[in-house]
Structure 1
Amino acid sequence: MPPERDTPATDPWTPLRRMTPARIGLGRRGDAPPLEAVLDFQLAHARARDAVHAALDVDALAAALEGRPHVAVRSQAPERGTYLRRPDLGRRLEPACLEALPRGEWDAVFVLADGLSATAVQRHAVPLLNATLARLPGFRVAPVVIATQARVALGDEIGAAIGARLCAMLIGERPGLSVADSLGVYLTHAPQSGRRDSERNCISNIHQSGGLSYAAAADKLAWLMAEALRLKLTGIGLKDEQQAALPEA
C-alpha cells in the first residue's frame, strides 16, 4: 500500500502556513518537491518577471487621477533593458523634461514612478495618493509627477526643480516570489541631487494581499510628512513615533 500522506488536519506545518506566505514544509514526492509546489513557484517567478518588465500605462494612470493636475516625465534610461542594466541613468531626469515641470513654492510633490514593478504603481499608487491627500489639509501640493524608467533618486531632481520642500516617491518595489505588486514610498526633505538613502524615510510592503493597507500607509505617510516639515529633516533623524492603531477585534 502507498504511504499515507499528511492531511491539513494532521500536517504539523499547517498552523505555520496560516501565518506566512513563505514556502515552508513543502514536502516531497520521491526525491523532488510536489508538482503543485513546483508549479506554484514557476507561476510566482513568471509574475515577478512580468512585473519587472511591464511598461507603465501612463495614460491610464493619468486618467485615474480624475482631473488632478499632473505632468509626465522620464529618466535618461531610453528603454527598459537599459534601465535594468544602468541604474545610474534611472536616477537622472531627461533634460527635455525639466521644461515640463511647473515651478512654484510647494510643501510637497508626489511622484508616481514605475520602479521595478509598474504593476504595483498601476494598482496602488492613486488610491494611496488620494488617501494621503485627504489627511493633509492645508498642504500646498504640486501637480503630480508620473515618472517612467525611474529609480528612487529621480525624485530628488524632480523635487528640487519643481520647488518642493518634500518629495514623496511612490514607486514599485522589487518583486518577490510572494508578492509582485508591492508599492513603496520614499520621503525626502529638501530634495536635491546627491541625497543619500540615509536621508529618506521609507514605507514598504503596501498592497492588498496581506500587506500594509492604503489607510495604514496613508496615516503613516501623512504623519511623517507633517513631522518632516516641523523638524526640517527626514531619514535617520526622523523616527517613526506615530501611535500604531490596534487592529479591530
Structure 2
Amino acid sequence: MNLATRLDSFHQRVRCNQWLGYFTIFVRILLAYAFIFAGFVKVNGERFTSLSNNHPMGQYLEALFHTGYYYTFIGVVQMLAGILLLIPRTALIGAMLYFPLILNICILSYAVRFDGSLLTSPLMVMANLYLLGWDYHRLKYVLPFKRSAFKKMLPAKKNRSKKFAFKFLSGVFVITATAVGFIVLMNFKVIMPRNTIDDCEYQCPESSNETACISFCECIHEQGNSLNDCLEKFGKDFNK
C-alpha cells in the first residue's frame, strides 16, 4: 500500500466520525474568531497592542501601523480568512488563506521572542494544519498524488459513526500538551524581553548572572536597542 492510498484510507476513517466533525467546527470557530477580531482592530485603524516602541515586537507593530492602507489590507485579509472558515463551502479556501498568515505570525513571534503569541501561534498553526487535513480530499488535487473521486474518499452520511473518537482526540490532546510543554520549557531556558521592564527583570533572580539580565532588560526597554544587539551584550556581560 503506497503513501497516497494510506492517506486516503486514514482520511476516510477520520471523516467517518461525527464527533470529529463537531471538533472541526469548533476549531474553525476558534480560528475564525481570532482573526476576525485581530483584523477588525486593524481595519478600524487601531494599534494592535500597547507595547512600548522600545520592545522588539513594539517596534515592528509601530512600523506596521504607519504603513497606511497596507495595515488595513492585512486586517481585511485576516477578516476574510476568518469569515471563509465559518462557511462550510469556503472553509478550505479560508484555511489555505489563513495558513501563510498564521505561519508568518508564529515565526515572527519566535524571531523577536514575543510573549503574547509564543504559545498561541504554534497551536494555531497546528489547528490550521488539521483543517487542511480535514479537507484533504479536495486539497490533494493540488498535490502530486494520485487523484481519487470525491465520492470514493468520503463516507455516505448514513455510514458515519457516532462513536466517540477517543483515540484520535486523545492523540490531539497529547500532541497539544507535548507542544505546550516543549514551548514552556524552551522559554524557561532563554532570556526573554517580556512585555515590560518589570516583567523582564522578574526573571532575573532565576538567572545565574542577575546583573547581566537586568542590563539586558534595560537595553531593550529603556535604550530601545535591537534584540540581537542586546543579546550580544548579554552574552558578553554574562561571561565576565
**How does the TM-score come out when normalised to structure 1?**
0.27
Q: Which has the higher strand share?
A: 1
